[in-house]
Structure 1
Amino acid sequence: MKLYTIGFTKSSAKDFFGRLAKARVKHVYDTRLNRTSQLSGFAKQNDLKFFLANIGEIEYSVDALLAPTADILSAFRKNQISWQEYERRYLDLLAARRVENHFDLDSMHEGCLLCSEATPDQCHRRLAANYLSEARDDVEIVHL
């Protein structure tokens, strides 16, 4: 089973949609807390849904259960907590939400978790993918 992750920051629309097409992604799961910000550009929720369907015939859904809370995200962005503390709080949040009970990993094959960060290093999409993959042994996570 293959699960992708992608961020759109520092990426042109051509590069972003090209990476999704090259990987043959079937579904994008939007894990962002804020999906309509001006900073989102081509990745605003409604525009992204349109582009994905029309450029790559890719399905789109919002998966708010995988989004961090505003408190956790704000504390990290304001340097009030470290990345390690963010990770701990976010993973505790996923466990409290029992997200593993809300997703069928079989149906997520060739799906892609989306957030804004350019790289997965300090991004909740990587943490979410790792968390979901713990439910089975055959998950390959690929960061686009």
Structure 2
Amino acid sequence: MQINTISAYETSAEQFFEDLASWGVDLLLDTRLKNTNQLAGFTKKNDLAYFVPRLLHADYVHDKLFAPAPTMLERYLHGNIGWDAFADAYREDMRERDAVPHFFNRYGEYRSVCLLGTATHKRRSHVEVLQQMLEAATKA
């Protein structure tokens, strides 16, 4: 299984869908906690649920199990904790939720999965950590 990450921010719709197509994505897994507000632009949940199957002939799933805990995310976004502390807390949260086994039980049949997160030029996204955890599990 190939696992890529993509951000809902700081990209054009053209680049977003071109990247997904070039990776041969058959599942776009939306891991964002909030994906319906105006800041999501063209990546709102209902828009992606329409565009992904239509343009890519792929599945779109919003699975909040992989979203970071709201309080921890807010602390990171507001600069109260750094990336390393946030990433460590997210890893621990994913272990407690049994997220990696859930991922492979639910999505293991897909060939190319893209994890949708919220990285920007100034901040990193939890999907980076999730990708590392999933790739480590495939090598174990």
Tell me the distance in 1 between the aligned counterparts of 2:120 and 2:61. Answer: 20
Identify the structure with the greater helix proportion: 2
What amino acid is the match of 1:130?
Q
* Equivalent in the alignment of 1:14: 14
Q: Deviations over 1:52-93 (max 9, x none)?
A: 111111210012111001101100111111111101111110
TM-score where L is the length of structure 2: 0.90
Higher relative contact order (CA 8 A, sep 6+): 1
RMSD across aligned positions (CA): 1.6
Q: Deviations over 1:6-28 (max 9, x none)?
A: 11211111110111111111110
Number of aligned residue pairs:
137
* Equivalent in the alignment of 2:33: 33
Percent identity between the aligned chains? Answer: 31
For the residue of structure 1 that corresponds to 2:116, the secondary structure is strand
Tell me the distance in 2 between the aligned counterparts of 1:76 and 1:118. Answer: 13
- Alpha carbons 1:5, 1:129 under 8 Å: kept: yes
Tell me the distance in 1 between the aligned counterparts of 2:75 and 2:129. Answer: 17
Tell me the distance in 2 between the aligned counterparts of 1:64 and 1:3. Answer: 18
Tell me the distance in 2 between the aligned counterparts of 1:2 and 1:118. Answer: 23
Unpaired runs of 5+ in structure 1? 139-144
What amino acid is the match of 1:125?
V
- Alpha carbons 2:118, 2:124 under 8 Å: kept: no
For the residue of structure 1 that corresponds to 2:89, the secondary structure is helix
What amino acid is the match of 1:90?
Y
Alignment of 1:117-132 (within 5 A): 117-118=119-120, 122-132=124-134
* Equivalent in the alignment of 2:24: 24
**Following TM superposition, by how much is the alpha carbon of 1:94 offset from its aligned partner in structure 2, in angstroms?**
0.4
Unpaired runs of 5+ in structure 2? none
